[in-house]
Amino acid sequence: MTTISAALARVSQPDRLFIGGRWIDVAGSARLRPVNPATEQPLQDVAAAGPAEVDKAVSAARAAFDNGPWPRMSPAERAAGMRRLSAALARRGAAADACWLGQVGVPAWMASGASAGAAGLLDMYAAMAESYAFERVGPAQGIACDTAVVVKEAVGVVAAIAPWNGPLASLLVKLAPALAAGCTVILKPSPETPLEAFLLAEAAEEADLPPGVINLLPADREASDLLVRHPGVDKVAFTGSTVVGLHIAQVCAARMARYTMELGGKSAAIVLDDYDPAALGPALAPLITLLCGQVCINFSRVLVPRAKHDAYVESLAAAMKAVVVGDPEAAGTMMGPLAMARHRDKVFSYVEQGLAEGARLATGGVRPQALERGYFIEPTVFANATNAMAIAQEEIFGPVTAVIPYDSEEEAIAIANASDFGLSGGVFTHDTDRAYAVARRIRTGTFTQNGREFDLTNPFGGFKKSGIGREGGVEGLEAFCETKTVFLPRAPAILQG
């Protein structure tokens, strides 16, 4: 494993923003100041956009879409530019990995090389652009025309708004398909994790994409709201909380702007009666503690047969106790800190609420005694919870799960579906036919047998308040397209074989 350190989390242009193909000075003096959650020490601070920069970024993206070459290039030409961007980003891989470690506190083993996988989305969508049928000729039952050409065209100017837990990957899963479709993009990172977006902008400059195709707009929430409301933005692609997503949806609906959203989750792991209790803890603990539980697809509910409840809890609690919590840069650390002080306080407030509602704390729920600094919490398991409790209904976004007993498979399915969310889920059983039957009855966007897959070569997104639309796969490309039907007496020469 390559050694990485938060000290490498540096960008070359912290005082300026990349807009319209060049680095520009900002009008105000506002700064974004990310903090290392393991040390509580500041990292490199960067310029923050204000209203003037919002207008400049939208104007640059608008001009690049309306009058620039990018939407008018062939898909193969766009693919070539995307591959240059991927290569330029790969050359900043060590810094990008360090940014994730430094700003979010993910362990070094997880951060090392992570940017390469994220950059791979550019290569994946570049290849897809070259093979996707942006124009399809078919029959029409018209009066004057018997040919219809169905065209997929770029939706326009995209505001790509990323969360703080996976800053680079969340930006790229929006940027890559948007570029492949021919859109121009405004990158809006979270105020808590702006650094990766600066590295992306550096890579865009090196890749020599046309001016205005990629624009950098790190901003606080007030300026971000101006971006969402801006009439020059055709689509908002957002990942974040359901509360913010609902606000953005209302704003977009008021002006009929397009949007896709990947929002919160309260995913249930349904354990069927054939699954060995001793195997459950080792299988589930890594999924609950990944990124300190700050994952939208976290298994924050575990549904178990009532007759074996205590055995399942004992297995899970033992595995969670064995998770090594500590310095993300230290060898052997399995789980780092929560990302922010205010988020730490929120997670601990849910622990208190779970106890007040009558759930039994099987393990965790406190700060590790050996760690005097940093936003740490021990992996936490509640036993004998009910689905009506706040810890079972609200997204905690931490390494906290509630074990809920059930008396029948029908009841387990009902409990899993009794949620405002529907992002992910899983079933633990050795019977694949039984697993598939359960999967088809759960109202959720992704579902896995004996684990939790996250594969952006396939569509990802949620039901209910977990979002609208899909990211990943060909569906992710189509989310950045509008469909146009052109009726003609015959197919145009350019589309004739």
> Do the domain assignments include residue 495?
no
Say whether both 238 and 339 belong to one domain. no
pLDDT for res 5: 87
Write out the H or E segment, with its range, that includes residue 261: strand 258-262
pLDDT for res 7: 86
pLDDT at 190 over 80: yes
Token digits of residue 88: 């330029």
Cβ atoms of 21 and 210 within 8 Å: the answer is yes
Say whether both 214 and 305 belong to one domain. no
When pLDDT is averaged across residues 92-111 and rounded to a whole number, the result is: 96
458-483: pLDDT as tens digits: 999 999 999 999 999 999 999 999 99
Say whether both 243 and 294 belong to one domain. no
Burial of 493 (0-12, 13-18, 19+ CB in 10 A): exposed
> Do the domain assignments include residue 81?
yes
> Do the domain assignments include residue 456?
no
> Do the domain assignments include residue 226?
yes
Say whether both 60 and 182 belong to one domain. yes
C-alpha 213/C-alpha 74 separation (Å) is 15
Cβ atoms of 8 and 94 within 8 Å: the answer is yes
When pLDDT is averaged across residues 52-67 and rounded to a whole number, the result is: 98
Burial of 73 (0-12, 13-18, 19+ CB in 10 A): middle
409-457: pLDDT as tens digits: 999 999 999 999 999 999 999 999 999 999 999 999 999 999 999 999 9
When pLDDT is averaged across residues 88-109 and rounded to a whole number, the result is: 96
Say whether both 139 and 166 belong to one domain. yes
Say whether both 190 and 72 belong to one domain. yes
Q: Which residues pair with 214 in a beta bridge?
A: 185
> Do the domain assignments include residue 284?
yes
Say whether both 103 and 171 belong to one domain. yes
> Do the domain assignments include residue 491?
no
Percent of the chain with pLDDT over 70: 99
State the residue range of the domain holding 195.
Answer: 6-263+466-486
pLDDT at 192 over 80: yes
Domains in the chain, number: 2
Say whether both 280 and 364 belong to one domain. yes
Confidence class for position 359, pLDDT limits 50, 70, 90: very high
Say whether both 210 and 314 belong to one domain. no
Say whether both 404 and 280 belong to one domain. yes
C-alpha 109/C-alpha 4 separation (Å) is 9
Average pLDDT, the chain: 97
CATH of residue 190 = 3.40.605.10
357 is known as an active-site residue: no
CATH of residue 307 = 3.40.309.10
Q: Which of 192, 262, 329, 378 is catalytic?
A: 262
> Do the domain assignments include residue 201?
yes
Say whether both 272 and 326 belong to one domain. yes
7-51: pLDDT as tens digits: 888 999 999 999 999 999 999 999 999 999 999 999 999 999 999
396-415: pLDDT as tens digits: 999 999 999 999 999 999 99
Cβ atoms of 303 and 273 within 8 Å: the answer is no
More confident residue, 14 or 2: 14
Say whether both 243 and 342 belong to one domain. no
**Ranges assigned E (strand) in 335-480:** 360-363, 380-383, 400-406, 421-422, 425-428, 448-449, 463-464, 467-468
Confidence class for position 296, pLDDT limits 50, 70, 90: very high
pLDDT at 1 over 80: no
> Do the domain assignments include residue 1?
no
374-398: pLDDT as tens digits: 999 999 999 999 999 999 999 999 9
Percent of the chain with pLDDT over 90: 97
pLDDT at 4 over 90: no
Strands 400-406 and 421-422: unpaired
C-alpha 212/C-alpha 183 separation (Å) is 10
Cβ atoms of 404 and 411 within 8 Å: the answer is no
pLDDT at 334 over 80: yes
